Amino acid sequence: MTDALFAAFQLASADNHPSHYDVEYCRAHGHPGMLAHGFQTLIQTAPGAGTFPFYVGSALVGFLEQSSRFLKPVYVGDTLYPMLEVADLKPQRTTGVATLRSSVHNQKGELVLEGELKFLIRLRDPNV
């Protein structure tokens, strides 16, 4: 989580709260450095950055929902380790819902985020 990533996220999100760009403000409020925006941590779980798209391929219909809990602060300079795990597969008639459990740990091994992502997947024709 570099200064450049913080600046890029601030620019893209238009979130101008000083906790995300003013280190002196953060220190005055008891933090060792700038705090990452929660969504800046959340985007580390984007499935497109991993192997999920290669397994799902053209069967992906769409992204349905996302939920997350932010458990610990993330600061500039932290190294994050995201992980996705298939938690549930619910077949329907011609589609199914794949639920992925998401987690992000920091360089200290602390869990900083946990949540779920749900995707609508087209089922394969068993006759093909």
User: Domain with 65 in it: what CATH number?
Assistant: 3.10.129.10
Q: Tokens at residue 68, please?
A: 């997350």
17 within domain boundaries: no
What is the mean pLDDT of the segment spanning 109-124? 95
Indicate if the pLDDT at residue 48 is higher than 90.
no
Its domain, for residue 60, covers 38-122
**Confidence at 116, pLDDT banded by 50, 70, 90:** very high
pTM of the model: 0.86
Q: Region 76-100: what's the mean pLDDT?
A: 95
Q: Which residues contact 14 (CB under 8 A, 6 or more apart)?
A: none
On whether residue 21 sits in a domain, the answer given is no
With respect to residue 94, please indicate whether it lies within any of the assigned structural domains.
yes
Residue 1 domain-assigned? no
Beta strand pairing call for 60-70 and 111-122: antiparallel
